[in-house]
Structure 1
Amino acid sequence: MGLFHTSTALIYAVLLLLSSTLVAGIQYCHTGPDFCFAATTQHNTSTESHDVYLTISATPSKKGGWTGVGLGREMKGALMFIIYEDQESKSLITSIRSASGHVMPKVVEDADKQVSVLQATVSDDKYLAQFVCYSCWSPEVEVDGLSPYIFAGNKEQAFYGADKYSSLMYHEFKGKVWGDMSATAEDTTVASAPAIQGEETIGITEESPEPEKKKPEGFFTPVRVHGTIMTFSFMGLYFAGSVAIRSPLIRAFKYHWMIQAGASILALGNGLYMFLRSTHFGLHKIIGLTILCSLIIQAAAGYKHHIDFVMIRRQTIFTLVHRWLGRGTLLFGTMNVGLGMYYRHWSSLGLFTWFVIWCVEIAGYGYVLLRHQRRQSQQRGHAIPKEDLEDIADAEVFDIGDDFDDDEDEVEGVPLMDRQKKHEKNI
C-alpha cells in the first residue's frame, strides 16, 4: 500500500509539473483558408508590463501564400506578424511590419528590440511560427475586457528568394476579432508561447464590443471616380476612337484624334493622381502604369507616322508601333477595368456584365476591322469626287494603309491609301 501511495504521489507530481508548463491562452481558427493563432500574456517583472506570446499556424496553398496577425483595431499603428515561405530555401520567413493606414505595411527596422522569434518551421502541410513581443499589451487597449486582433492573408502569392522585405500582394481575406486576455495565464511563472489546441476558437469573439465607426462614404470617392473615368476612357472613348478611324466617314481622322486625345487626357490625368496617392502596388496598378506609359509612346508613334506618311507615302516602324501598341493598349486597358472591379469586390453579376460588354466590344472591333479591309478592296480603282478628295485624303493619310511607289503620287481621283502597293502593268 505504501508503494501504491508513493507511485500515486509521483504521478500527481508529474502531472502538476506538466500542467504548470502549459500556457493557457486565447485561440482563433479560420477556415477557407485554414489558419489559427493563439495568444497569451505574461507579466514582465523587470518592466512591470505584460509581454504577448503569439503562435501562428497556417496551412499553405500550392503556391504557399502569406498569413499575418496584428495587434490592434486596424492596420494603422498595428504591429503585424507576417509569415510566408521561401520556395527556394524551403524556410519560413517572419516579417514584423506596421502601417500608417490601409496601405502596404512596412518592415519595422528595429523590431528585434521588441520582438523575438521563438520558432519558425515549415512542413508539407503547415507553417508554424511563435513570437514574443515585450511590453506589447496593456489593459488600456481593451474595450469591455476584450483586446483587438486583426488578420489577413493571400494564398495565391509565391515567394522565391524571399526575405523580410518581400513585397506582398493585396490580401484576399481579412478580419478583426476580440480576445478575452483575462483568460490567459498572465500570472504564471512559465514564459512560453501557447500551443495550438485543435481547431477550436477559445476566448475570442468576432462581435465587436464597440460600435463600428465608419466614416460616411459619399459616391464621389477617389477610387470610384478613378474607376468611372477609366471605364469611360477605355471601354467608351478609346473603343469609339479606334472604330472611328476605320469607318467610312469623311472626317474619320479628325474624329479619331479628337476622341483619342480626350480619352488620353482623362486617363493620364486620373492615373497620375492615383499613382501619387498610392503607397503600394499590386497587379492592377502595375498593369495600369504600364498602360499609361504605352499611351504616351503610342500617341508619339502615331504623330510620327502621320508626319512621315505625308512626306514619303510609306509605312515606317512608327506605323507598326502605333498600330499594334494601340491594339494591345485597348485590349489590356479594358481587361484592367475588369481587374479593378474584381479587387473592389464587385458582385458576380457585375463582373459577368462587364465580361459580356467586353466580349461584345472586342468582337465588334474585329468586325469593324474586317469590314474596313473589305471596303478597301472594293473601292480600289474607283474614282472619288473632287470635292470630297481633300477630306478623304486627310482621313486616309493617317489611316494605316498600303505603301505605294513614287510614280503613283500624281494619280488623280484615287485615294492615296487605297492604291495598291504597285501598279499592275497593262498587258
Structure 2
Amino acid sequence: MHRSRSLSSSLSLPALLALVLSTIVSAYRPVQFVKHTGESGRADQAFSLVNHYNETSQQPDLYVRMQAFRYQSSAQGWAALALGPEMKGALMFIIYGDPAAPDPHLTMTVRTADGHHPPRPLDEMKDFYSGDVPDVDVVTAHFEPYTGDFFHEELKQKPSHLGIAEFIVRGYNRWTAAVLPVSNATTGQAMIWSSNFKQDFGGDFSPERNIDMHQFGLGFGFLWTDLKNALSPVPFFGPIKDTEDHKGVSETGEPAAPTNDELTVGEAILLQEKEFNSGVFGSDPFAVGAGAAAGAAAGAGAVADSDSTTNTPGADDGNKVEEPVKTPKQWNVRSLMWHIHGILMTVAFLVLYPLGIYFLRSSRTTSFNLHWTINSLGSMSVSIGAIVGFVNSRSISIAHQYLGILLVCALAVQTVLGWRHHIVYLSTMQSYGRGRPTWMAQVHVWLGRVVLPLGMLNVISGLLLRHYGWLTVALAIAVAAVQIVALVLVVGRARKRPGQANGGTDGHKLGPVAVAGRDGPSALDEAAEYFQLTADDEEFSDDDDNADEGEAGSAAAVRERDGESAAERARREQEEQKREQQKRLARLDKV
C-alpha cells in the first residue's frame, strides 16, 4: 500500500490524465464539420479536429484544419470557429484573405470578445482575460484552386478556391475565459461557428483588421463536439470530406456515440499515419498525413445528429449549455442596456404609434389631442432608445443599425411636418374661416405609413440579433401583422364616415366636428376645442376671465348710456363675437 501511494505521488496530474485517457479511449473516431448552407443561404466552411496528448509538454494539443470555400475568386468575407458556448470568452480562430492576389496569403487570427460585439486579438483583451493563453502554431494558411466534387445547387457553380488553415492549439484546455470549461475529455464540448461572405476588406488583411458582424440569420451556429473519441496517439491534421456530413459533431446536442463504420475509418486513418511517421508514437510534426489519410476517410458514413446519454464526466455538458447558448444570458450592464433599448423601441412601434393613429381616425372629440400626445410619448421612447443603442454600440456596421438611424431621422422630419402643418392650418382657419390642406400634411401622412412598418421590421430584426427565442419573435411578428391589418381597416372606415371627407387632406381628420366657416361661429368654437393643444378655457387664469368680464360689462354700460340704436348694437355684438373667436384661435396658436 505504501509503495502504491509513493508511485501516485510521484506522477504529475497531466501524466495521470494521459494515463487515464490512454486506458479509456480504445478507438479513434474522425471529427469533421461541413456546412455549405445555413438556414436560408450560404455558410460554406468546414473544419476537422484531432485531439492529441503531447507527452513532452504533458498537455492536450488540438490539431485544427479549417476550410473556407470561395466562389469566383472573391476576396470578400471571413469564416470563424471558436471554443466556447457563446461569444463571451470564446477562443476564436478567424480566417480571411484574397485568393486572387499575386501572393494569395490567408490570414489566421486568434481573438476573443467580452460580449456580443466584434472580437479583438488576444493581446488587446488583457483587461477582460489575463489567465493562461494556449500557444497557437500556424502550420499553413493559404489558398489553393478547388478540385473537389462539391457543386453548390443554389449558386449553380463549384467553388473556385479553397482557403486552408492548419494550426495547433497547444494546451487548449488551459483557456478558462469561456462561460463553460474547455475539456479534452468530454463527448460534448460546446463550440460556435460564424461566417460573413459580404465584408469588403479593401485590401487590408492584417491580423488586427476589424471584422463586420456575421451574416444575419444564417451566418452563425452552435456545436457540440466529441473530443474524447477524437483522441489520437499520433498527431496529424484530420482530412475533410466536403461532400459528406458532420462526424463526431452535432448542432442540436451531444453527438451520438461512434458507429462501427466511423471506428473502422478511424482505424485505417491511424494506420496510415503511423506508417507515415515510421511507427514512431509521440512525435510532433507540423504537417502530417492529411492528404494521405483522405483516401482512407472515403468510406466514412454520415453521423446522425441525435442526443446521447453516455454516462461520462463530460456527458452533461451539451445539456447544460443548450439553453444558455440559444438565449445568451449575459446579465451585465451592457446587456441590460440592450434590453432597455429593445423594450423602448418595441413599446414605441408596436404600441404607442399604432395607438396614436387609431385615436386620430376615431370619432372622439379629443382624438387630435390624444393623437399628438401619444405620438409624442412614442417619439420620446424612440429618442431615448436610440441614444442607448448608439452609446452601447462599438461600431455602426449592420443593416439594423443603418435602418434605425434612418428611422430616427424620418421621425424627426415627421414631427416638424406635423407641427408646421398644424400652425399653418390654424392660421388659415383664423384668416379665412376654415383650415386649408397643405403639402406638409400629405408628406406627414405618407411618411408615417412608411416609417411605422419599417420600425416594426427593425424591432423584429433586433429580437433576432439578440437571440431571443422563436416564440418571442413569432409573437412580435403576430402583433405587428395584427396592428397593420387593424389600422388599414380603421383608416378605411374613417374615410367612409360622414364628416371625415372634409378633413381627408388636412392631416387632422375633424371627425364629428363641423368644418369651420361652413356652419358659422359655432363651428369655430368646436374646432377650437378639437385642435386644443393647451389647457381648457376654464383652466386659464382668473385674471384673464375677470378682465374679459370687465371689458364686456363696461362695453354694455357705454351702450346703455349712449342709447345705441338696434342696428349699431347688432353690429357691435357681431364684432365682439368675432374678437372672441380670434382670441380662441390665438390660444390654439400658442404652441
Q: What's the TM-score, normalizing by structure 1?
A: 0.66
**Quick check: 1:192 aligned with 2:307?**
no
TM-aligned CA deviation for residue 69 of structure 1: 0.8
Partner of 1:39: 49
**Quick check: 1:67 aligned with 2:183?**
no
Distance change (3 Å), C-alpha of 1:105 and 1:192:
farther
Distance change (3 Å), C-alpha of 1:109 and 1:133:
same
TM-aligned CA deviation for residue 351 of structure 1: 6.5
**Quick check: 1:158 aligned with 2:198?**
yes
SS in 2 for 1:183: coil
TM-aligned CA deviation for residue 328 of structure 1: 2.5
Q: How many residues align?
A: 376
Distance change (3 Å), C-alpha of 1:248 and 1:221:
same
- Structure 1 or 2: more strand by fraction: 1
Q: For structure 2, which runs of at least 5 residues remain unmatched after alignment? A: 1-27, 39-43, 125-134, 147-157, 176-180, 236-281, 309-313, 430-435, 505-510, 534-577, 586-591
Distance change (3 Å), C-alpha of 1:97 and 1:30:
same
> Sequence identity, in percent?
20
TM-aligned CA deviation for residue 264 of structure 1: 1.8
Aligned equivalents of 2:192 and 2:77: distance in 1? Answer: 14
**Quick check: 1:336 aligned with 2:458?**
yes
1:54 to 55, 60, 64: 64
Aligned equivalents of 2:286 and 2:425: distance in 1? Answer: 79
Aligned equivalents of 2:438 and 2:136: distance in 1? Answer: 63
Aligned equivalents of 1:184 and 1:370: distance in 2? Answer: 79
**Quick check: 1:234 aligned with 2:349?**
yes
Partner of 2:403: 287
Partner of 1:383: 518
Aligned equivalents of 2:456 and 2:121: distance in 1? Answer: 38
Aligned equivalents of 1:262 and 1:176: distance in 2? Answer: 44
Question: Does the CA contact (< 8 Å) of 2:85 and 2:192 recur in 1?
Answer: no
TM-aligned CA deviation for residue 243 of structure 1: 3.7
SS in 1 for 2:231: helix
Question: Does the CA contact (< 8 Å) of 1:118 and 1:129 recur in 2?
Answer: yes
2:31 to 19, 27, 33: 27
Partner of 1:262: 377
Aligned equivalents of 2:97 and 2:405: distance in 1? Answer: 29
Aligned equivalents of 1:332 and 1:226: distance in 2? Answer: 17
SS in 2 for 1:182: coil
1:130 to 142, 165, 173: 165
Aligned equivalents of 2:301 and 2:86: distance in 1? Answer: 24
* Aligned 1:361-400 pairs, distance under 5 A: 361=486, 363-364=488-489, 366-367=491-492, 370-371=495-496, 374-376=501-503, 383-384=518-519, 386-393=521-528, 395=530
Q: Which has the higher contact order (CA 8 A, sep 6+)?
A: 1
**Quick check: 1:273 aligned with 2:388?**
yes
1:174 to 196, 204, 221: 221
RMSD: 5.0
SS in 1 for 2:451: helix
Aligned equivalents of 1:257 and 1:151: distance in 2? Answer: 47
Partner of 1:353: 478
Aligned equivalents of 1:218 and 1:81: distance in 2? Answer: 22
Aligned equivalents of 1:257 and 1:56: distance in 2? Answer: 57
Q: For structure 1, which runs of at least 5 residues remain unmatched after alignment? A: 1-23, 399-409, 417-427
Deviation track 1:247-281 (CA, whole Å, cap 9, x = no partner) reads 45433321111111112222322343344334566
Which one is further off, 177-186 or 231-240?
A: 177-186
Higher Rg of the two aligned structures: 2
TM-aligned CA deviation for residue 237 of structure 1: 1.7
TM-aligned CA deviation for residue 84 of structure 1: 5.4
